[in-house]
Amino acid sequence: MLFELPKNKYIKKTILNVVIVYLFTSILLVFALSFIYIQNQKEQFKDLQSEQTNLEAKHIKEQLEILHDNLINEIAIYPRDIQSAIYDIDNNLIFSTFPQIITKFNKKYYCKDNFSYFIYQLDTYYLGAAYLVIQKPKEYILKGLVLKFCIGILLVILFLIFTSFIIVKILIKPLTDNLNTLDRFIKDTTHELNTPISAILNNIEMLDLTKLDEKNKRKITRIKIGASTISTIYDDLSFLLLHDKQKSNNLNLNISNILYDRIEYFKAISSSKNIIFHIDIQSNIYLYIDKQKLQRVFDNLISNSIKYSYINSNIYITLKENNFIIKDEGIGMDPEEIKDIFIRYKQLNKKNVGGFGIGYSIIDTIIKEYNIDIDIISQKEKGTTVTLIW
């Protein structure tokens, strides 16, 4: 369909942003040009009225002279076919064919209510008149032009909305097709990874390590670490692909027990760097949350702490009634890196460690859903402390 937006929320957001900017700038331009045109039409109409009024003023002056010269004989009659008025030198009304009273005589032209007023200063005070005022309606300018342009602008805006979606969809179609292809590839690849990873981890657990020598034990441990790392990446990719489509299964969970399990899961990886966990977990802490999402938060925070920690260092994990704290002695971050930490696919340290830059993006998505606050304090070469507060 013409106005159907792509399912990918980032493409959808891009299309809407482009359309909004395009419409805003185009409508702003239309209003600016319309304003200039209306002002120009007003000036033209004013000039036309002024030419006509000058002729009428000349005619009235002639009639005033005739009336003044023949006042005794009562031959001349004040012209009533033109809406006009005469005032003396002290701005007092002498005679008028319209009900409005004029008080401003320092301008040659001004508008008030629905009328325009042209003021002429008389050199010869016939009948004691020092000022001649001619009244003209200005309804044509206010009603005719504005109404036409309101209709015109509305049509232009509708046309811009129609064309903007067409143009943006045409321009973004190659990108949309490529992203859809990439999404399908990731989904298929992720699905295919699950079975072999599970098989490797399950078979490692079933091995009787007591019958192996130290050399083979170390090999098995390295295999387990590699498989666990791939499994964590698989879980993250699955979350990214499916979290918009799956409804949260929220339960009142004992997060103390879950945290113990996740720490135990990562002990093999931490042992490979000789990292020691210092644990202070209060028992029976409950939180109403989806279990898989909670595991994603714990896993990414623990995994990042291990990944960015130095060999032979410490990680401190604390869980209390209303907060969770994890502190490492790793490479740390500067303020700019902390500022960009939640941007998806942005790796803050590409040289020393691997990763896809999706961990904190996942954490950010989940904690926002459950109104959990996060505080990150970090210092280069000294480590990072992350606090979750609920």
Name the β-bridge partners of 15: none
According to the model, what pLDDT value does residue 279 have? 95
CA distances from 50 to 115, 132, 212 (A): 13, 14, 109
Residue, of 258 and 70, whose pLDDT is higher: 258
Q: Are 267 and 277 in contact (CB under 8 A)?
A: yes
Distance CA 5, CA 215 (A): 57
What are the tens digits of pLDDT across the range 343-381? 765 555 555 555 555 778 889 989 998 999 999 999 998
According to the model, what pLDDT value does residue 14 have? 72
Beta strands in the chain (DSSP E): 84-87, 93-96, 109-112, 115-121, 131-137, 250-254, 276-281, 286-290, 314-319, 323-328, 373-379, 383-389
**Domain annotation covers residue 46:** no
**Domain annotation covers residue 374:** yes
**One-letter identity of residue 52:** Q
Report pTM: 0.54
Mean residue pLDDT across the chain: 81
**Domain annotation covers residue 204:** no
Instruction: pLDDT band for 87, please (50, 70, 90 cuts).
Output: very high
Q: Are 16 and 165 in contact (CB under 8 A)?
A: no
DSSP state of 123: S
Exposed e or buried b per residue across 198-217, where buried means at least 16 C-beta atoms within 10 angstroms of its C-beta: eebbeebeeeeeeeeeeeee
In the predicted structure, residue 288 carries a pLDDT above the cut 90: yes
Q: What is the mean pLDDT of residues 130-152?
A: 74
Give 19-74 as a DSSP string: HHHHHHHHHHHHHHHHHHHHHHHHHHHHHHHHHHHHHHHHHHHHHHHHHHHTTTTT
**One-letter identity of residue 113:** D
**Domain annotation covers residue 202:** no
According to the model, what pLDDT value does residue 18 have? 76
**Domain annotation covers residue 381:** yes
Rounded (10°) CA dihedral 200, 205, 206, 210: 120
According to the model, what pLDDT value does residue 244 have? 62
Distance CA 348, CA 339 (A): 11
**Domain annotation covers residue 45:** no
Distance CA 387, CA 319 (A): 10
Number of domains in the chain: 1
**Domain annotation covers residue 352:** yes
Distance CA 263, CA 27 (A): 57
Rg (CA), the chain: 41
Which helix or strand (DSSP H or E) is residue 175 part of? helix 146-206
334-338 contacts, C-beta under 8 A, 24 or more apart: 334/378, 334/380, 337/378, 338/376, 338/378
Which helix or strand (DSSP H or E) is residue 14 part of? helix 9-69
Tokens 């998806």 -> residue: 344
Distance CA 188, CA 182 (A): 10
In the predicted structure, residue 235 carries a pLDDT above the cut 80: no
**Domain annotation covers residue 102:** no
What CATH number is associated with residue 360?
Answer: 3.30.565.10
CB neighbours of 157 closer than 8 A, spacing ≥ 6? 23, 27, 30
Name the β-bridge partners of 334: none
What are the tens digits of pLDDT across the range 115-127? 889 999 988 888 8
Domain that holds residue 383: 247-389
According to the model, what pLDDT value does residue 362 have? 86
Helices marked H in 266-290: 267-272
3-class SS of residue 138: coil
